[in-house]
Structure 1
């Protein structure tokens, strides 16, 4: 799928990639969702399916947090307070920890809700606000949303499909 360049394409990319991811998630046996045998977000690490969903939830929450702070004219610590862009592996670990008490069904419900809130946010914005105005350094808001929703959804789906094949899960 091409990189979205306007509001409608962004909405479609998120919906399409999320629905494909959700279809993959629905076919995972729940007893395997806590087993850390999926390639991790840092080199030479592993994670569980639950960790992967936690990662997606964490980034989705950050997108919403960034937008809220920007709308209030507050300073935003990108990517997150206490983390630099070259520490995304550590940030992934934080997300795993943030959601470690949540089971698979809860994580999936949270991902549904976060994705819905992001789609609602996009709906409230104009195409100019999303794609014709620099929002963070050279990046537009639409691009920052895409970097942290539709693209990771697609990546997560690919990871899950590879994991299913390796574990003979249909």
Structure 2
């Protein structure tokens, strides 16, 4: 899929990749959702399908936080307060812990709700706001959203599909 360059393309990418991901996540038996047998984000590590969903949920809710703070004219702590870009593994571990008390269905429902809030938030912004100027470093707001939504959805879908076949 081409890199989105407009609000319309971003919304389409999020919708398409999320639908494919949720179709595959729907095939994960609840009894195996916490089984740590899925290739992890760092080389040589493993995680569970629930950890993968927690990771996606964490990033979705973080992007919503960025957009909310930005919308109120407040500074945004990229990637997250207390974390640097070279500490994304630690941030992933935080996401796993943040959502470990949720069961499989709750995780999936929360991910869907976060994605729907993202779509609403993106839809309420102009194409110029999303793609007209850099927001973080050289990246536009739309590109930063895409980096942390549709791209990870596609990556996660590949991981889940491979895991389901194994």
TM range (shorter): over 0.9
What is the CA-CA distance between 1:68 and the residue it aligns to?
A: 1.1
| 4+ residue segments displaced more than 2 Å | none
Paired position in structure 2 for 1:46: 46
What is the CA-CA distance between 1:134 and the residue it aligns to?
A: 1.2
In structure 2, what is the Cα distance between the partners aligned to 1:73 and 1:144?
A: 18
In structure 2, what is the Cα distance between the partners aligned to 1:96 and 1:148?
A: 16
Deviations 1:86-130 (Å, cap 9, x if unpaired)?
Answer: 111110000000000001100000011000000001100110001
Deviations 1:65-98 (Å, cap 9, x if unpaired)?
Answer: 0111112222211100111101111100000000
| Aligned residue pair count | 166
Q: Secondary structure at the match of 1:101?
A: coil
Paired position in structure 1 for 2:83: 83
Paired position in structure 2 for 1:130: 130
What is the CA-CA distance between 1:161 and the residue it aligns to?
A: 0.8
Matches within 5 A, 1:9-158: 9-158=9-158
Q: Secondary structure at the match of 1:41?
A: coil
- 1:4 paired with 2:4, answer yes
Give TM-score, length-normalised by structure 2: 0.98
What is the CA-CA distance between 1:160 and the residue it aligns to?
A: 0.4
Q: Secondary structure at the match of 1:135?
A: strand
In structure 1, what is the Cα distance between the partners aligned to 2:42 and 2:75?
A: 28
For structure 1, the residue ranges without an aligned partner over 5 or more in a row are none
What is the CA-CA distance between 1:42 and the residue it aligns to?
A: 2.0
Give TM-score, length-normalised by structure 1: 0.96
Deviations 1:31-68 (Å, cap 9, x if unpaired)?
Answer: 00000111112222111000000000000011010111
Root-mean-square deviation (Å): 0.7
